[in-house]
Amino acid sequence: MVSTFAKIEPISKKTRVVVLLKEAIASGAIQSGEQIVEGKIAQQFGVGQGLIREALIELEHQGFVQRTPYSGTQVTKLGLEDALQIFDIRIELEPLAFWLAGHKITAQQLAELRDLAMTMRQGAKAEELDAFFTQHLAFRKKIWEISGNRYLQQSLERLVIPLYALYVIRSSHNSDGTFQTVLDCMEHQDAILEAYRNGDIEEARRVARDFLASMKKYLGTRLVPDPSRDSMVPASS
């Protein structure tokens, strides 16, 4: 008999908890800046506190929560001014990573970037924004890695990852702005791949910088205000 169905991948309890917590944050059920008490969440899920701690560590890596020693964990809280200040630094640092990567990138690594870009397009086509932004971040993180500068890579991870979580959290409130961001991201990645294929490292740096400057310019219209803060400008401004 010919097999009709693919095997179902088992989902661990931790993975399930991560997904549910992320959904709660993205929907606003858990507000930005809200403290997350491990014991309380563990009781609600009916699992051990250690598993919740592992899930929160994973969410921290994805930018959705911030863990502070002796102070606990809270949902990432970024306002427009925070995002603008991050972009001021990012515009200077990240194009350097693209330039350094251009000097070292191999044919295999370029193929890996193309695969990530293709997966990202599939997420966009299916309107799976979480998957789209995850793959777009993976594309950029791969370039940071290829750059070979671990200090630059660590700095960008600390700066940029929370911004991606912010886009996911706000995407359901501003579909038009998010859709335009998706289009811009795909166009940007195509231009980067073309520059690398042509061996034009300076062009890769220019494309990266122009893209980031554009993203900063439109932050106020693509990230709608959070009701818990007044630091975000109206989406129509």
Q: How do the domains of the chain map onto residue ranges?
A: 13-75, 80-222
The reported pLDDT for the residue numbered 11 is: 67
The reported pLDDT for the residue numbered 230 is: 40
Give the three-class secondary structure for 73: strand
Burial 94-120 (b: 16+ CB within 10 A, else e): bbbbbbbbbeebeeebeebbeebbebb
Please tell me the distance from the alpha carbon of residue 95 to that of residue 22, in angstroms, as a whole number. 30
Paired sense of beta strands 65-68 and 35-36, if any:
unpaired
Q: Output the CA torsion sign for 98, 102, 106, 110.
A: positive
Helix H segments across 62-200?
80-104, 107-125, 129-147, 150-171, 175-197
Please tell me the distance from the alpha carbon of residue 208 to that of residue 103, in angstroms, as a whole number. 15
Instruction: Per-residue pLDDT tens, the chain, 237 aa: give them.
Output: 454 544 545 568 888 898 898 888 877 788 888 999 999 999 998 999 999 999 999 998 888 888 887 778 988 887 888 889 999 999 999 999 999 999 999 999 999 999 999 998 887 877 787 788 888 999 999 999 999 999 999 999 888 888 887 777 766 666 666 788 888 999 999 999 999 999 999 999 999 999 999 999 888 776 645 544 444 433 332
Provide the residue type at 85 as one letter. Answer: Q
The pTM (predicted TM-score) of the whole model is 0.74
From 1.20.140.10, 1.10.1050.10, 1.10.10.10, 3.40.1520.20, which CATH number describes the 13-75 domain? 1.10.10.10
Domain 80-222, second-level architecture: Up-down Bundle (1.20)
Task: Give 166's contacts (C-beta < 8 A, 6+ positions apart).
Answer: 63, 76, 78, 83, 223
The reported pLDDT for the residue numbered 229 is: 45
| Strand ranges across the sheet with 65-68 | 35-36, 72-75, 65-68
Q: Are 27 and 172 in contact (CB under 8 A)?
A: yes
The reported pLDDT for the residue numbered 5 is: 47
> Which run of H or of E encompasses 75?
strand 72-75
Measured at the CA of 193, the angle between CA 87 and CA 198, to 5 degrees, comes to: 120
Task: Give 86's contacts (C-beta < 8 A, 6+ positions apart).
Answer: 78, 159, 160, 162, 163
